[in-house]
Each structure stands twice: as structure tokens, then as C-alpha cells.
Amino acid sequence: MSKRISPNYTCADWPQDLSDRYSPNWDKAIDILRDRFDGRYFKPLEVLVNHDQKSIRTNVGFIVMSIDCLLIETLNQFYLGLTHTGEKYYKNNSDANFKFNWQAFRDFFEHSKNFPDFKTDTVLCKIFFDQIRCGLLHQAESKINSLINLKEDQLVKRIDATDPTKGIIINRKIFHECLIKDFEQYYQDLSNPESTNIFMDYLRDNCDRKMKALCS
């Protein structure tokens, strides 16, 4: 039985002749990608954040941010054509720019047009990775003094303006909306065979490489 890669498709549905970036089969491939991200992540999260019960929709911050962190990592893998993050970012890498997993988040934010606070601030990227991402995914908590809420009127706020290591506050609604915009941009970029990532690799080539690795 072929592995299911989205609600409506299995690995058998992924086109096998996508080495030609101009192949008409890319239309189907892009539809499968959309079905995967919408069906497994964005639509279920939409149900939670818009739930009829206030006690549910106002207390899903950790769930939303945990999935958002997962999506940042997997989107970066699609951007770069990676089987997994450690394929490029690992401690024995001779290039110091790709030794640590937090640098994958740095590169995601660099690729993004929707997270300006993180785009030029590598320290903030590392704080987010250490205190939000790792806190949530390893310990089910935000670390140090960092917070996730709906109260702030900005995407990210430093608790101490002079020392970001003391913690940050993330407005999870704004953050999630920015991530949706990023996916929509990626989806749109894939419609152009000439679209590239920040390293000038073709997005279609890397998308195909990632999906075939997922199905292998």
C-alpha cells in the first residue's frame, strides 16, 4: 500500500517526471503539496483557533506555536530540498554557518518576507529557537521568561530591550498569520519554474527532492 502524504493523495500520486521544471505535471504536484499542508496542518489549526468554545480557542497557543515551529522546519526543508534538517545543519560541518539547528530557523526567516523582526536579527532567531521552539517541542513549555500570548500588539517583543536572552513575547495569532502568508508565498512561487531560494537553487527541484525523500 502506498504511503499517504496528504488527505487525498498517496506517494503513488506524486508525479515521477518532474526533473523538467516546465513539465505540466507540476500543476498536480503543487496541488498535492497544498493538500498536504492545508489538510494536515492549517485547516485543523483553523478549527482550534476559531472554536466555538472560548476556553478552547484562547488556550491553544502552545499547540499552534508547536505546529508552527514544526512547519518552519519542514518548509525550510522544502525550500532547500533536505531530507531532514541535520542533512545540512550539523555540528561537524566545516562551514560555521550550518553547524546548529537554530541556523535552519535563521535561514527560514531570511527567506521569508513576513517576519521582518527576525530577518536581520540572528540573536533573536537563536532566542526564538532555544526558548520557544525547543521549550515547546522538548519540554512542552516556553523557557526562561519567554511567553506566548494574544495580548501584545506586535509579532515579537523583547522582555528586556537591552538583553534578548532574558526572554521574548510572541503574539501567536500574528505569528501564525505570518506563517500562513509564507506558505501562500511558497505556493505562489512554485507556480513559476524559475523561482529560487536564498541560495539560488530552484524551488521546484528542491520540492521534488524533498517529497521523493519523504516517499522513499
pLDDT band at 7 (very low <50, low <70, confident <90, very high): very high
pLDDT value for 155: 97
Query: Residue 1's pLDDT is what?
Result: 79
**Cell numbers 500570548 label which residue?**
149
- Model pLDDT, residue 191: 98
- The set of cell numbers assigned to 128 is 526564538
pTM of the model: 0.95
Residue 136 has pLDDT above 90, yes or no: yes
Q: Where are the domains of the chain?
A: 14-215
Give the per-residue pLDDT at 120.
87
Could you report the per-residue pLDDT of 156-204, keeping only the tens digit for each?
999 999 998 999 999 999 999 999 999 999 999 999 999 999 999 999 9
Grid cell listed for 32: 498535492
C-beta separation of 150 from 58 below 8 A: yes
Per-residue confidence at 31, pLDDT binned at 50, 70, 90?
very high
The pLDDT > 70 percentage for the chain reads 100
Q: What is the mean pLDDT of residues 21-25?
A: 97
Distances (CA, A) of 148 to 27, 64, 157, 163, 170: 38, 10, 11, 18, 5
Task: Please give the Cα distance from 64 to 201 (Å, whole number).
Answer: 30
Element (H, E) at 170: strand 168-171
- Rounded Cα distance between 28 and 17, Å, is 12
CA angle 80, 39, 59 (to 5 degrees): 100
Alpha helices in the chain (DSSP H): 26-37, 43-49, 54-57, 61-80, 102-111, 116-119, 122-127, 134-139, 172-190, 203-215
Pairing of strands 168-171, 156-158: antiparallel
Residue 74 has a pLDDT of 97
Question: How does DSSP classify residue 96?
Answer: G
- Rounded to the nearest integer, the mean pLDDT of the chain is 96
Using CA atoms, how far apart are residues 173 and 85, in angstroms rounded to an integer? Answer: 26
